[in-house]
Amino acid sequence: MGPLSDIRVVELGQLIAGPFCAQLFGDLGATVVKIEPPKTGDPMRQWGAGDPPVWWEVIARNKRSVAADLRTPEGQEIARRLIAGADVLVENFRPGTLEKWHLDPADLCAANPRLIVVRVSGYGQTGPYARRAGFGGIGEAMGGWRALVGTPDRPPSRLGVSIGDSLAGTYGCLGALAALHEREKSGRGQIVDVSLFESVLQVMEGLIPEYVAAGHVRARSGSILKGIAPSNVYPCSDGELLIAANQDAIFRRLAAAMGTPELADDARFATHNARGRHQELLDTLIADWTRGQSVAAVEALMEQHAVPAGRMFGARDMLADPHFAAREAIVSVETVRHGDLPMQGVFPRLTRTPGGIRRPAPAEVGADTEAELRDAGYDEATIADLKRRGIV
């Protein structure tokens, strides 16, 4: 199932960035073998709400679990054998860790010249900061994201999800897919160097050229983007609605929906730049109009007049929404520990070779260790000895 069904991935990652990268591979059909520490496993098994926590069920779906202690020579040999038969290796340890464990990517690539190694780290594999420890939040700060999130009168906020990690995992998968494509021509693998801070930097739009060319410094602006109007969250009698009408023709339709078509010809609001200069006044006028109506009423008017608008969805709203259902944006997975569990579906969608969730996250650490070791050439006596000594 899926366009990557002939690809084999070994994941040495932990927490979010590396495992999310491997999750994307698994969702698109790749066989993913996750190597995690014996007994304790990946710390992600303990993250999130629920008893036991349910986040693991998402990030470890479509994966097989092998428990191996990479701090031991025997565990390192297990990793080498599994990687020798892999197309892609994903790891997100601090630079130098693999080398310390005698798993230097240069040696791994020499043994398996077609291997693609995705290395995700805080600052990348080179540069003066390379050996520093780094989490997603640090990447968000250094990459420019955190400085722009929140209101001007408060310290920087966070988004509420680990966006730096997820972006790095996504770019890691993108880089590996590009390397797989190139391998079709050259027959050779390569290393994909992904940093958390550069993953965030990639989505910072015109932040740097705006500063260089115009001296413009972006700053926190709360629920608006300064100079882009109207685009804000507006109060209704029973909730809030985001309306985005920051384009001339769309604003004209919004003005008509409000029953004040003359606003579109008002010199203060007739053009993009004019609306930006009078953003606060325009937001006040729109809020005064929405405040006396329900969310449903305003949303219906926006749909009628083809004005982009959306409610603030939480999990309950998503589960009840007919569009989510029609798109199968949320699917139910039969898990070992939680039974039938709804979660986000596989994305992006392919029409001819779609991905899917073929197996739930491994409930037990090392659930697939014995099967994978047998496939790697270990005999039953050796496997039993490794288990007895706690290496697997």
Among the candidates 282, 312, 342, a domain finishes at 312
> Domain check: are 23 and 163 in the same one?
yes
Query: Domain check: are 78 and 169 in the same one?
Result: yes
From the candidates 165, 193, 283, 368, give the one annotated as an active-site residue.
165
Residue 22 near residue 166, CB atoms below 8 Å: no
Tell me whether residue 360 is in a domain: yes
- Pairing verdict, β 309-311 and 88-91: unpaired
Same domain (yes/no): 41, 123: yes
| CATH number, domain containing residue 255 | 3.30.1540.10
* Cα-Cα end-to-end distance for the chain: 30
The answer to whether residue 225 sits within a structural domain is no
On whether both 342 and 294 belong to a single domain, the answer is no
pTM for this predicted structure: 0.94
- Contact status, residue 240 vs residue 247, Cβ threshold 8 Å: no
User: Residue 351: which residues within 8 A CB-CB, separation 6 or more?
Assistant: none
Residues 155 and 298 grouped into a single domain: no
Candidates 121, 91, 123; CA nearest to 105 is 91
Rounded-to-integer distance, Cα 135 and Cα 15, Å: 10
Are residues 18 and 145 part of one domain? yes
Residue type, 386: L
Structural domain span for residue 304: 231-312
Query: Which of 279, 312, 345 lies at the terminal end of a domain, its last residue?
Result: 312
Say whether both 189 and 148 belong to one domain.
Answer: yes
DSSP state of 191: E
Tell me: do 56 and 156 sit in the same domain.
yes
pLDDT tens string, the chain, 392 residues long: the values are 899 999 999 999 899 999 999 999 999 999 999 999 999 999 999 999 988 899 999 999 999 999 999 999 999 999 999 999 999 999 999 999 999 999 999 999 999 999 999 999 999 999 999 999 999 999 999 999 999 999 999 999 998 999 999 999 999 999 999 999 999 999 999 999 999 999 999 999 999 999 999 999 999 999 999 999 999 999 999 999 999 999 999 999 999 999 999 999 999 999 999 999 999 999 999 999 999 999 999 999 999 999 999 999 999 999 999 999 999 999 999 999 999 999 999 999 999 999 999 999 999 999 999 999 999 999 999 999 999 999 99
H, E, C per residue of 216-262:
CCCCCCCCCECCECCEEEEEECCEEEEEECCCHHHHHHHHHHCCCHH
Judgement on whether residues 289 and 365 belong to the same structural domain of the protein: no
214 occurs within a structural domain: no
Q: CA-CA distance, 205 to 208, in Å (whole number)?
A: 8
Interaxial angle between packed helices 248-257 and 295-304, expressed in degrees from 0 to 180 and rounded to the nearest 10: 130
d(CA 275, CA 229): 6
Q: Is residue 285 part of a domain?
A: yes
- In sequence order, what are the beta bridge partners of 228? 225
Is residue 165 flagged as an active site residue? Answer: yes
Last residue of a domain, one of 250, 284, 312: 312
Phi, psi values for residue 148, rounded to 5°:
-105, 0
Residue 359 has what pLDDT? 96
- Least Cα distance to 187 among 91, 87, 89, 103 occurs for 87
Give every CB contact of residue 37 below 8 A, 6+ residues apart in sequence.
67, 69, 70, 365
In the chain, the number of structural domains is: 2
Q: Show Cβ contacts of residue 62 under 8 Å, excluding neighbours closer than 6 positions.
A: 23, 26, 27, 32, 357, 358, 359
* Residue 157 belongs to domain with CATH number: 3.40.50.10540
Q: Mark whether 38 and 75 lie in a shared domain.
A: yes
Judge contact between 222 and 287, C-beta under 8 A: no
Residue 222 lies in a domain: no
Same domain flag for 305 and 342: no
Residue 181 structure tokens: 């494509």
In a domain, residue 127? The reply is yes
> What does the alpha-carbon distance between residue 266 and residue 229 come to, in Å, rounded to a whole number?
14
Q: Would you list the DSSP string of 96-142?
A: THHHHTT--HHHHHHHSTT-EEEEEESS-SSSTTTTS---HHHHHHH
Q: What is the pLDDT of residue 1?
A: 82
Task: Please say whether the beta carbons of 165 and 159 come within 8 A.
Answer: no
Give the pLDDT of residue 245: 97
Q: Does residue 187 sit in helix, strand or coil?
A: coil
C-alpha closest to that of 166 among 29, 48, 23, 65:
23
**In this structure, are 192 and 257 located in the same domain?**
no
DSSP H or E stretch at residue 8:
strand 8-11
